[in-house]
A and B are shown apart, each in its own frame.
Chain A
Amino acid sequence: MLKIIAWILLAAALVVLPFVLSYSQQEVLVFLTINVLVVSSYRLLTLTGEWSLAHVVIMGVGAYASALLTKSAGFPVPLAMLSGAAVAGVFALILSFPLFRMKGFYFLIGSFAAGEIMRLIWIKFRDPFGGPKGIKLIPGFDTIEIGGLKIDFFEPVNYYFLALIVVAVSLWIIWRVERSPVGLIFHAVHWQDKLAESVGGQGAPLPHAGLCHRLLLCRFVGRAAGALHRNRQSQPLQCRRDGLCSDLGDRRGYGHVLRPDPGRDRVDDPQRRCLARTGDGSGPAADLRPDPDCIGPVPAKGP
C-alpha cells in the first residue's frame, strides 16, 4: 500500500513539476528526463557484467540517422525518430558481432574504440554530418491536433510530457526484461558465464543482450533526435550591420541572441559584414555572397 502511495505521489510530482519551473528550467527538465533513460538503459547492459563505452555513441547514431532522414529524405519527424531508433539498433547489432568476441577489459576498450571511430566520422565528414557543429536546418516537429486539441512541441512542457511517456514506457520494458528468464540469464552470464554456457545459456542471450540494449537505447535515441530537432529549428538568422546575427526567434521565449555572423570567418574579405547564402542554402562556404543591404532574414548556415 505504501508503495502504491509512493508511486502515485511520484507521478503527481512529475506531472506538476514543469508548471512550477521557469521556461529555461523546463528545457533542462526535458534533458534531465532523457538522461534518466540514458543511465537506466545502461543498467541492462551491465547486467551481463560488461561495461560498454559506446552506449552514448549509439544514441548519437540514432540522433544523426533521425536528423538526416528528416532533412534529406523528407521523413515526417515522428517517423524519422522511429527510423533513427531502428538504424541505431541495426548498427549496434552489427557492431555487437566483433565486440561480443571480447569480454571484460577488452570489451571496454573495444567499445571505446568503436565509439571513438564513430565520433570521428561525425566530426571529420562535414557532408553529411555537419562536422563539429552538427547538422543544422533540420525540420521541426509539427504541431499535432488531436480532437481539436493542438499540441505544439515547441513548448517545453509538451515536449517534457512526450519525453516522460517515452521514458516511462522504456523503463517499464527494462523492468519487464530484467524480471524475465532473459534477465535471469543476463545475471547468470554476469556471475558465472562458463556455468551459464555449460547449460546452453549463451547461444541466444548474449546477442539478445546486445539487441535488447540497443532496442531500449533506441527508444531514447529517437527521443534525443527529437530534442535535436527541437534545438536546431530552421529559424532564420537576423543579421545587423555590425556583423552580429541573432537566431532562435521569440517563439521559444528567448530574447534575440547576438553572435558573430557565422559566415564571416570563412570568407576572404574581412570587411564583409553580413552574408547570404546563394542557391538553396546547402552549399559550402564558397557559395556565400555578401548581402549588400545587410538585412535579414538570412538563412542559417548549412553543414
Chain B
Amino acid sequence: MGLLSLLRKLKKSDKEARVLVLGLDNAGKTTILKALSEEDITHIMPTQGFNIKSIHKDGFKLNVWDVGGQKTIRPYWRNYFDNTDALVYVVDSADQARLEEVNIELTKLLTEEEKLAGVPLLVFANKQDLLSALSAADISVGLDLHSIKDRAWQIQACSAKKADGLQEGMEWLIKTVQERESEKK
C-alpha cells in the first residue's frame, strides 16, 4: 500500500497533518522520506537545512518535514516545532555506540519542548537490514521509551533501504493523529 492510499483512509474532516522527522545525522531520515515517496535512494547527501514533502489528496495535505541531524544543526530543530501533529524519530539501529546520545537528544525534545507536548511519537528503528542492528525492543529499552507517559509512542523496526516496515509505521501514525483529532472535537 502506498502513502497515498493510506492518506485516502483519513477522514475528510482532518484536513492537514504536519509531521516532523528528527533524529541524529546518518540515521536515515531523508532515505525514509524518499523511500516513502518511492524516489531513488542511491545518492542521498547529509541534509544541511531541511527537506519538505507535501502530499495532497481529496483536500487533505500531509506535510512531512525532514530536518538535518548534524550536531551543529540540532539547535535549529526548534524552529520547526510549531503545529506539529506527529513526531517521527529515526534511529540507526546498528549504531549502538550512539544510542546514549540518541536517548539524551530525545529526552530533551520530549521533556523540555512545550510545543511538542502530547504530540504522538513514532520511533523508526531503521537499518534493520544490517547484521549488527539492535531489535526494536532493545532500542525501546535503550531509549527508555517506557518512561514516556504523556503521549502515544510506537516503535517500528524498519529498513529504508529495503522499504520494509515504513508503511506499517505510517499507518499507525495516521491512525493516531486521526484519533487525537477526534478527541479535540
Judge: A and B partners, yes or no: no
Which residue numbers of B lie inside 8 Å of A, CB to CB? none
Which residue numbers of A lie inside 8 Å of B, CB to CB? none
